Amino acid sequence: MSVRPFRFAVQSFAPASAQEWRDQARRAEALGFSAFHLADHVIGPGPKLAATRHPVQTVAAIPAMAVAAEATSTIRVGCRVLCVDYRQPVMLAKELATLDFFSGGRLEMGLGAGWLANEYDAMGVPFDRPGVRLDRLSEVIALLRACFGEGEVNLEGQHVRATGFEAVPKPVQRPMPPLMIGGGSPRVLGIAGREADIVSLNFDNSSGQIGPKGVGSSTAELTDAKIGWIREAAGDRFDDLELEIAAYFTVVTPKPDAALGAMAPMFGLEPEQLAEHPHALIGPVDALIDRLVERRERFGISYVTFGVSVMDEVAPIVERLAGT
């Protein structure tokens, strides 16, 4: 396994104002983060969202990415990850190429097959079984490659049809912006291993809600298994992949034992399990730096995304590790 230099991103969900969103993106850029992300969730407060235990995302992904790009000059903008079922595929291709065009080649293109069943239901979007959604994701990836390439687009799939035109504009990054595919199940990580530039390791969210089951699907031991699925699918291209993970549970503290003791029961874990959990970083800065280096050696994870609420607290980690 080749060792890639560290990169770090910030993810934001719910800016209180347009100015706060711009300020967050500029602050992330100034602190040396390489990317500014959001997710792709649509519905607001109500019984459908409450049942998922998912936080509210107040802004739509595509326009929010455009505003972040306009407010900054060097940081990449992206989404972890766009749900392909929420958009007509040809329109998605055009919007992504346009984002890359206007940002001067700073788009990170994250795609996923969707998982939040209640959101689909609330929006009136059919929630097909996982195999169908993953087939559709594969066809959308093929369409993006066709639209971003040269010549006429002619694709007749089971889920995606686009014929008789050349797609414009072309993205600045050639042959296409870096593709991130995220998930936690064997098949989606297999698709990522074959197709992606960046593989985003996430929970197995087949339960359709955030909770102990999803967190428990991403322990250190199970993450070893996920790396194996990616490696098997990627074959000779495995060393070219960048592995990314979100440090959802980040607490910078000189007293990690207290934080671990309080948090671990929430997820049905022992404190020792949470301390080793790849999505958790709990402790003082020096210890967290050591842990990130250890995880890169064990899993190959070199790209870490933090929530915007801890952006300033983890800035010393970014300063010391980014690019090394």
CA-wise closest residue to 72 among 36, 37, 39:
36
The values of phi and psi at residue 261, to 5°, are -65, -35
Specify the number of domains making up the chain.
1
Q: Is 145 inside any structural domain?
A: no
Q: Is 301 inside any structural domain?
A: yes
- The helix/strand/coil state of 204 is coil
- As a whole-number percent, the residues of the chain with pLDDT over 90 amount to 90
Q: Are 300 and 1 in contact (CB under 8 A)?
A: yes
Q: Is 214 inside any structural domain?
A: yes
Mean pLDDT score, 96-105: 98
* Distance of alpha carbon 42 from alpha carbon 51, whole angstroms: 15
Residue 28 banded pLDDT, cuts 50, 70, 90 = very high
Verify cis geometry, omega within 30 degrees of 0, for the bond prior to 212: no
Q: Is 170 inside any structural domain?
A: no
The values of phi and psi at residue 226, to 5°, are -60, -40
Q: Is 236 inside any structural domain?
A: yes
pTM: 0.95
AA identity, residue 244: E
Residue 269 sits in a domain of what CATH number?
3.20.20.30
- As a whole-number percent, the residues of the chain with pLDDT over 70 amount to 97
The 10s digit of each residue's pLDDT in 297-309 is 999 999 999 999 9
Q: Is 107 inside any structural domain?
A: yes
Q: Is 162 inside any structural domain?
A: no
Q: Is 171 inside any structural domain?
A: no
The 10s digit of each residue's pLDDT in 111-152 is 999 999 999 999 999 999 999 999 999 999 999 999 999 999
Q: Which domain holds residue 14?
A: 7-132+176-321
* Distance of alpha carbon 84 from alpha carbon 90, whole angstroms: 11
